[in-house]
Structure 1
Amino acid sequence: MTQDIALRPVVDPALEDAERALLEKSADGLFPATLPLPEEAGLGGRTKADIGTALGVSAVCALLPVTILWALIGVWPGLAVGLAAQAGLIWVGVQFGFEAFVLTVVGVHLLAWLLIVVLGCGTDERQRVARLRHGRYTTRSPRAWPS
């Protein structure tokens, strides 16, 4: 039976408390000190996959905002904004016709995509600290810890 072994970061105690707390959360996204630090992706850490994923998420956000905004901005605010946006889209379709509805959805799609790419993708604070403090933390398997 194969067991997943969670890696636990070991962080330099001389680091500031806030940085140490960020790095100690998990080993995900930390770079082993034995390897050189990989180059950061261009566009502030955004990758082609981030941009493509944002395109799909923003399409759903534009057409059916009530289904996804809760996941992007929080449950209750997202549901409230999503319901209002959904009602607005329906109102535009009923009041001004199908062409206006499609143009509104396309405009919202482009705006949502831009916001998701700019605000939701790229290097976050934890990744920035991990790059900045490379070599001042390590990840080890729990099996390697002394008893």
Structure 2
Amino acid sequence: MQSMGRYLPVAGNVGVFCHDDDEYAFLTKLREKFTDSSNSVYGKYFRLHKPIVIPAKGDIPKTTYSYLYIRKPDPNKNQVGDIDFYLEPEKYAELKQSLLEGKMITGARVLPNRPDLDLIELYSQDIDAFGYIGNKKWQ
């Protein structure tokens, strides 16, 4: 995690962003095979039947993904997906406040134009995915 200077634990969800209707239809059918359609958060994050677990390696923490989100095509966004990271609530509040007060962290900003979502966005022109830091887990 270049912006934070260390690897953060994941919150437990992964998003895949579709670029056209055919890709969305294909990935939605695939998602239906790997997730419980009756167990979703916000009607779009679906619990995987079997979580994806990646063991820890060096200073990279163990990673468990429990939820999958397939996003409909959006012609204004060309990213391929996103990952949410987790910080304890007090550490998250401290980081967010420092950004709001003008601290500059390359590739990190309080999520713009979405007052309904309390997240810090991680971005890079060299990476076609977003990262988000929040204070909630998806386990």
TM-score for both structures, normalised by structure 2 = 0.24
User: Quick check: which has more Rg, 1 or 2?
Assistant: 1
TM-score for both structures, normalised by structure 1 = 0.23
For CA contacts below 8 A with separation 6 or more, give which structure has more relative contact order: 1
